[in-house]
Chain A
Amino acid sequence: MGFRMRYLDLKRKICSVRMLAIQGIAEAGSGHPGASFSAAELMGVLYFRKMNHSPKKPDWSERDYFINSKGHSAPGFFATLAIAGYFPPTEMKTLRKLGSRLQGHPVRYTQKETHQSVPGTEFSGGSEGIGLSVSIGIALANRLDGKKNRVYTLIGDGESNEGQIWEAAMAAAKFKLHNLVAILDRNRIQQDGFTEDIMPLDPTRDKWSAFNWNVIEIGGHNVEQIIDALNKASEAKDSPTIIIANTVKGNGIKHMTNNPQWHGKAPPREHTPLLLEELRSECLIAPSIIAGQQENYEEKIRSAERGGADIIHLDIMDGRFVPNTTFYSDTIKQLRHITTLPFDAHLMIENPLAHIQDYIDARCDIVSVHAETCSESEFAQITDRLLSNGISPGIALNPSTDLPNWLFPHLQDVDVVLIMSVNPGFAGQKFIPEVLSKIRVINQKLREHGFLGYIEADGGIDATMLQAVYEAGARIFVAGNAVYGSGDIHGAIIQLRYKVNVALERKLLEQANAIGIRRDWLKTRKHILIPLANELGIEEELHALK
Chain B
Amino acid sequence: MLLSNEQKNADMRGAYGDTLVELGASNRNIVCVGADTTDSLKIKKFGDYYPDRFFNVGIAEANLVSVAAGLAIAGKIAFASTYAAFLPGRCLDQIRNTICYPDLNVKLVVSHAGLTVGPDGASHQQLEDFSTMRAIPNMRVIVPADAVAAKYLIRSIAIIPGPFYVRLARPLSEVLYEDNAIFRIGKGNILRDGSDATIMACGLMVTRALDAAKVLKSNNGITCRVVDMFSIKPIDTQLVAECARDTGAIVTAEEHNMIGGLGSAVAESSSETYPVPIRRLGVRDTFGESARDEEIDALLEKYGLATNEIARAVIECRGKSRR
Interfacial residues, chain A to chain B (CB-CB below 8 A)? 61, 65, 107-108, 110, 112, 122-124, 126-127, 129-130, 133-142, 144-145, 163-164, 167-168, 170-171, 175
Interface locus among B8-16, B55-63, B165-173, B233-241: B55-63
Interface locus among B66-74, B143-151, B204-212: B66-74
A130 touches B74 (CB 8 A): no
- Name the one of A61, A107, A133, A142 contacting B63, with C-beta atoms under 8 angstroms: A133
Output the nearest chain B residue to A71 by Cβ-Cβ distance: B97
- A-B contact list, 26 entries, CB within 8 Å: A108-B104, A112-B103, A123-B73, A123-B98, A124-B98, A130-B93, A130-B98, A136-B66, A136-B67, A137-B69, A137-B70, A137-B71, A137-B72, A137-B78, A139-B70, A140-B71, A141-B71, A141-B74, A141-B76, A144-B52, A163-B62, A164-B62, A167-B60, A168-B67, A171-B63, A175-B55
For residue A103, give the distance in angstroms from its CB to the closest CB of chain B.
10
B102 touches A126 (CB 8 A): no
How far apart are the CA atoms of A135 and B63 in the complex, in Å? 11
List residues of chain B with CB within 8 A of the CB of A163. Answer: 62
List residues of chain A with CB within 8 A of the CB of B78. Answer: 137
Interfacial residues, chain B to chain A (CB-CB below 8 A)? 31, 33, 52-53, 55, 57-58, 60, 62-63, 66-76, 78, 93-94, 97-98, 101-104
A124 touches B62 (CB 8 A): no
B58 touches A134 (CB 8 A): no
Output the nearest chain A residue to B76 by Cβ-Cβ distance: A141
Output the nearest chain A residue to B73 by Cβ-Cβ distance: A138
B67 touches A140 (CB 8 A): yes
For residue A113, give the distance in angstroms from its CB to the closest CB of chain B.
13
For residue A438, give the distance in angstroms from its CB to the closest CB of chain B.
55
With A127-B93, A130-B66 already in contact, the answer to whether A144 and B31 are too (CB < 8 A) is: yes
B57 touches A141 (CB 8 A): no
With A124-B97, A141-B31 already in contact, the answer to whether A171 and B74 are too (CB < 8 A) is: no
For residue B32, give the distance in angstroms from its CB to the closest CB of chain A.
12
Number of cross-chain contacts by CB at 8 Å: 108
A133 touches B62 (CB 8 A): yes
A134 touches B31 (CB 8 A): no
B62 touches A171 (CB 8 A): no
With A167-B60, A171-B63 already in contact, the answer to whether A124 and B101 are too (CB < 8 A) is: yes
List residues of chain B with CB within 8 A of the CB of A130. Answer: 62, 66, 93-94, 97-98
- Name the one of A110, A137, A171 contacting B60, with C-beta atoms under 8 angstroms: A171
How far apart are the CA atoms of A170 and B76 in the complex, in Å? 22
How far apart are the CA atoms of A286 and B237 in the complex, in Å? 73
How far apart are the CA atoms of A108 and B163 in the complex, in Å? 15
Output the nearest chain B residue to A105 by Cβ-Cβ distance: B97
B57 touches A171 (CB 8 A): yes
List residues of chain B with CB within 8 A of the CB of A142. Answer: 74
The 7 closest A-B CB pairs, nearest first, are A137-B70, A133-B66, A141-B74, A108-B102, A167-B63, A167-B60, A134-B70
B71 touches A127 (CB 8 A): no
For residue A456, give the distance in angstroms from its CB to the closest CB of chain B.
44
Output the nearest chain A residue to B97 by Cβ-Cβ distance: A127
With A108-B73, A130-B98, A140-B71 already in contact, the answer to whether A171 and B31 are too (CB < 8 A) is: no
How far apart are the CA atoms of A170 and B63 in the complex, in Å? 10
How far apart are the CA atoms of A135 and B66 in the complex, in Å? 9
Beyond A65-B74, A175-B55, 14 additional contacts (C-beta under 8 Å) are: A110-B103, A123-B102, A129-B62, A136-B63, A137-B72, A138-B73, A138-B74, A141-B70, A141-B75, A142-B74, A144-B53, A144-B76, A163-B62, A170-B58
B70 touches A135 (CB 8 A): yes
List residues of chain A with CB within 8 A of the CB of B98. Answer: 123-124, 127, 130, 134
How far apart are the CA atoms of A129 and B71 in the complex, in Å? 17
List residues of chain B with CB within 8 A of the CB of A136. Answer: 63, 66-67, 70
B70 touches A133 (CB 8 A): yes
With A141-B31, A144-B53, A171-B57 already in contact, the answer to whether A134 and B101 are too (CB < 8 A) is: no
B69 touches A134 (CB 8 A): yes
How far apart are the CA atoms of A402 and B115 in the complex, in Å? 88
B103 touches A134 (CB 8 A): no
How far apart are the CA atoms of A163 and B55 in the complex, in Å? 20
List residues of chain A with CB within 8 A of the CB of B70. Answer: 133-141
- Name the one of B57, B74, B102 contacting A124, with C-beta atoms under 8 angstroms: B102
With A164-B62, A168-B63, A171-B57 already in contact, the answer to whether A137 and B97 are too (CB < 8 A) is: no
With A135-B70, A137-B67, A141-B76 already in contact, the answer to whether A167 and B102 are too (CB < 8 A) is: no
B102 touches A134 (CB 8 A): no
- Name the one of A122, A134, A141, A170 contacting B66, with C-beta atoms under 8 angstroms: A134
How far apart are the CA atoms of A122 and B255 in the complex, in Å? 38
How far apart are the CA atoms of A144 and B66 in the complex, in Å? 18
How far apart are the CA atoms of A217 and B101 in the complex, in Å? 34
How far apart are the CA atoms of A144 and B68 in the complex, in Å? 14
How far apart are the CA atoms of A140 and B33 in the complex, in Å? 11
For residue B251, give the distance in angstroms from its CB to the closest CB of chain A.
38
For residue B10, give the distance in angstroms from its CB to the closest CB of chain A.
32
How far apart are the CA atoms of A171 and B61 in the complex, in Å? 12
How far apart are the CA atoms of A122 and B31 in the complex, in Å? 20
A167 touches B57 (CB 8 A): yes
B73 touches A122 (CB 8 A): yes
With A141-B75, A144-B31, A171-B57 already in contact, the answer to whether A110 and B67 are too (CB < 8 A) is: no
Output the nearest chain B residue to A163 by Cβ-Cβ distance: B62
List residues of chain B with CB within 8 A of the CB of A145. Answer: 74-75
List residues of chain A with CB within 8 A of the CB of B62. Answer: 129-130, 133, 163-164, 167
How far apart are the CA atoms of A175 and B73 in the complex, in Å? 18
List residues of chain A with CB within 8 A of the CB of B57. Answer: 167, 171
Output the nearest chain A residue to B63 by Cβ-Cβ distance: A167
List residues of chain B with CB within 8 A of the CB of A110. Answer: 102-103
For residue A242, give the distance in angstroms from its CB to the closest CB of chain B.
17
List residues of chain B with CB within 8 A of the CB of A168. Answer: 63, 66-67
Output the nearest chain B residue to A129 by Cβ-Cβ distance: B62
List residues of chain B with CB within 8 A of the CB of A164. Answer: 60, 62-63, 66, 94
Output the nearest chain A residue to B93 by Cβ-Cβ distance: A127
Output the nearest chain B residue to A149 by Cβ-Cβ distance: B74
How far apart are the CA atoms of A145 and B29 in the complex, in Å? 9
How far apart are the CA atoms of A170 and B55 in the complex, in Å? 13
How far apart are the CA atoms of A135 and B101 in the complex, in Å? 17
With A122-B73, A124-B101, A124-B102 already in contact, the answer to whether A134 and B67 are too (CB < 8 A) is: yes
List residues of chain A with CB within 8 A of the CB of B76. Answer: 137, 141, 144
How far apart are the CA atoms of A65 and B67 in the complex, in Å? 15
For residue A544, give the distance in angstroms from its CB to the closest CB of chain B.
50
A137 touches B74 (CB 8 A): yes
Output the nearest chain A residue to B70 by Cβ-Cβ distance: A137
How far apart are the CA atoms of A171 and B34 in the complex, in Å? 12
Output the nearest chain A residue to B28 by Cβ-Cβ distance: A144
How far apart are the CA atoms of A145 and B73 in the complex, in Å? 13
How far apart are the CA atoms of A133 and B53 in the complex, in Å? 17
List residues of chain A with CB within 8 A of the CB of B101. Answer: 107-108, 124
How far apart are the CA atoms of A136 and B56 in the complex, in Å? 12
Residue of A129, A141, A145 contacting most chain B CB atoms (<10 Å): A141
B71 touches A138 (CB 8 A): yes
With A123-B73, A127-B97, A171-B63 already in contact, the answer to whether A137 and B68 are too (CB < 8 A) is: yes
How far apart are the CA atoms of A160 and B169 in the complex, in Å? 36
